[in-house]
Amino acid sequence: MSIFSWRVCAVSIVRRVVSAAMLLAFCMVGRAPADDAGFTPLFDGKTLDGWAGDPAIWSVRDGAIVGETMPDKPIKANTFLIWSQGNVDDFELEFRYRLTGGNSGVQYRSKQFKDVGPFSIGGYQGDFEAGAKYSGILYEERGRGILTLRGQRITINADGTKTPGEAIGSAEDLQKFVKADDWNDMRIVAHGPKLQHFINGQLMSETIDEQADKRSLEGLLAFQVHVGPPMKVEFKDIRLKRLKLAAGRKKLVMVAGRPSHPPGQHEHRAGTMLLEQCLDAAGLPLVTAVHTGGWPADPTAFDNADAIFFFADGGGGHPVLQSSRLAQIDALAHRGVGIACLHYAVEVPKEKGGPEFLTWMGGYFEPHWSVNPHWTLAQTELAAGHPITRGVQPFVTNDEWYYHMRFQEPPAGLTPILSAVPPDATRERPDGPHSNNPAVRGSKGAREVLAWAYERPTGGRGFGCTGAHFHKNWENDDFRRLMLNALVWTSGLDVPADGVASSVTAEQLASNLDDKPAPKPKP
């Protein structure tokens, strides 16, 4: 090569480097620094465990989730692979994708349309395609259509009109960050109404959705295979990090225990879902997430919780006592996360769980100290002036009202919320770990605390209530209001002046009941 040719080649290389640097500088305003802390894998690299989709479309090959359509088996509508372990609210999601033909995307805060198909999803979608137009846009499947194009910052106003902000860049320049027929890194950040889509580290679109009647703040996560010509999409390195909810909102994670007692008793799932329905209908800035079966399948379930509610069997089989769960919840409580427990879930062994429950909630059912008789409330008193008792009137229910709880000493920060005088007959049962003991027997006529609130000196709130053995007692408006107020308060929100109003129908009471064998008739 001559010196002249070498110089031309060198100049050409320099120009390319400068051009690439200028493009990088042009787009750096949209780039975000990498932060690996707090991410949890959602894909094990081997199976579709935790995901649900059409097995004719979705599989795992070479460490990646593959969605593929064939020429001889075209699909009639878009179909999705749904993350089945929970919903997403405020989060960061990262994954790698490779697309061969067609169009795909990631759905988030979405909902299922089972009337359309078993794997039909609608909602926000971060698009990507084999073409050069749509990668990085915000699209709303089965909704408002294209909301924000690549390169745009858009605010969707309350009336649905759009206000553009400062452009990120031109769609053509941003397309240069997308690798054709190769692996791309995609990142979605959803924090309150603000939604951001990144591809290979570059911000592609940003949306602030203030249209309250149309937007979504929580829902399903899913990947798409698009109707049309044959296509193939691959996903791997799927990771989720939950974010503390945007200012003003709180999150309550509700854990319902497994079936245990006869029908109508310890209906953990039905009772928890009923309370969730009432809270959701109240219009409060509270996001609820119910997990059934005793413990969340979602490994990120508690990551951005403001409070956790347990309605489950307790004692030595309490859900928090298994594996490393006690330490996990203890760490959350020390971080200020509220803890509320209902009925049997207030009981743990004295040696394991007892010290933690005193720290979390200020009290618990201690075997050989507390008792569990069935009786009807009498001479009920409510804590005047406490937010949990707002709008609640003294009420009467027959229930398995545990009493003689073990409380924190000294009782600083502890407030008796509901108390009553148990019948003396409940103190005359034989001694046992739950039935009686000399301390209970010697306190005939004494007032007992049945529900209490605790404000931890280190921050955070706790609540315990011993009733709710019988599912039918959720019919009682005052008992239900007491529990709803307590959950709102434990989450760190202000309880409405008249409490959390709710109504429950017979159909709601009968829904979500556990499938339990009917009791055998007495001979």
pLDDT grade, residue 322 (50/70/90)? confident
pLDDT digits (tens, 9 = 90+) for 177-211: 999 999 999 999 999 999 999 999 999 999 999 99
pLDDT of residue 521: 58
Residue 32 pLDDT > 50: no
Q: For residues 180 and 325, state if they share a domain.
A: no
29 has a pLDDT exceeding 70: no
pLDDT 10s digits, 388-433: 999 999 999 999 999 999 999 999 999 999 999 999 999 999 999 9
Residue 420: how many CA atoms within 13 Å on its side-chain side? 25
Q: Map residue 34 onto helix, strand or coil.
A: coil
Q: Judge if 51 and 187 occupy the same domain.
A: yes
Instruction: Tell me the β-bridge partners of 46.
Output: none
Q: Which percentage of the chain shows pLDDT scores above 90? A: 88
Q: What percent of the chain lies above the pLDDT cut of 70?
A: 92
Based on the domain organization, do 235 and 257 belong to the same domain? no
Residue 31 has pLDDT above 50, yes or no: no
When pLDDT is cut at 50, 70 and 90, the band that residue 380 belongs to is very high
Residues 268 and 407 in one domain: yes
Question: Average pLDDT, stretch 456-467?
Answer: 97
If asked whether residues 213 and 293 sit together in one domain, one would say no
Q: Average pLDDT, stretch 74-86?
A: 94
Given 206, 222, 242, the domain boundary residue is 242
Of 242, 277, 302, the one marking the end of a domain is 242
Q: Report residue 518's pLDDT band, with 50, 70 and 90 as the boundaries.
A: low
Does 315 lie in the same domain as 166? Answer: no
Q: Using the 8-state DSSP alphabet, how is residue 236 labeled?
A: E
The pLDDT, as a whole number, for residue 73 is 86
pLDDT band at 522 (very low <50, low <70, confident <90, very high): low
Whole-number pLDDT of residue 392: 98
The confidence score (pLDDT) of residue 516 equals 77
Q: Let me know whether 282 and 165 are in one domain.
A: no
Confidence of residue 247 (pLDDT cuts 50, 70, 90): confident
**242, 272, 292 — which closes off a domain?**
242
Is pLDDT at 14 greater than 50 in this prediction?
A: no
Kindly state whether residue 452 falls inside one of the protein's structural domains: yes
Asked whether residue 16 is assigned to any structural domain, the reply reads: no
Tell the residue number behind the tokens 């329905």, with chain if given: 277
Residue at 22 is within a domain:
no
Q: What pLDDT does residue 15 have?
A: 39
Q: Which amino acid is at 239?
A: R
Q: How many domains does the chain have?
A: 2
Same domain? 361 vs 452: yes
Give domain status of residue 20, yes or no: no
Count of beta carbons in the 10 Å neighbourhood of residue 427: 22
Q: Determine the structural domain holding residue 186 and report its residue range.
A: 32-242
How many C-beta atoms lie closer than 10 Å to residue 455's C-beta? 14
Which residues on adjacent β-strands are paired with residue 363?
407
Distance CA(428)–CA(56), nearest Å, equals 65
Q: pLDDT tier at 6 (50, 70, 90 boundaries)?
A: very low
What is the band of 35 on the pLDDT scale with cuts at 50, 70, 90?
low
Q: Are strands 406-407 and 363-364 parallel, antiparallel or unpaired?
A: antiparallel
CATH (domain of 473):
3.40.50.880
Name the band, by pLDDT with cuts 50, 70 and 90, for residue 229: very high
**What are the φ/ψ torsions at residue 492 (nearest 5 degrees)?**
95, 10
CA gap 237, 33 in Å, rounded: 18
Same domain, 358 and 477: yes
In the DSSP assignment, the letter for residue 51 is E
Do residues 418 and 486 both lie within one domain?
yes
Structural domain includes residue 523: no
Q: Report pLDDT digits (tens) over 117-168.
A: 899 999 999 999 999 999 999 999 999 999 999 999 999 999 999 999 999 9
Judge if 225 and 294 occupy the same domain. no
Instruction: Please report whether residue 332 resides in a domain.
Output: yes
- What three-state secondary structure class fits 321? helix
pLDDT of 372 higher than 80 = yes
Return the structure tokens found at 132. 């050069």
pLDDT digits (tens, 9 = 90+) for 464-479: 999 999 999 999 999 9
Find the CATH number of the domain harbouring 238: 2.60.120.560
What integer best gives the mean pLDDT of the chain? 92
Residues 304 and 400 in one domain: yes
Q: Does residue 185 form part of some domain?
A: yes
Q: Which two tokens stand for residue 114?
A: 């089972």
Measured distance CA(461)–CA(486) in Å, rounded: 10
> What pLDDT sits at residue 10?
38
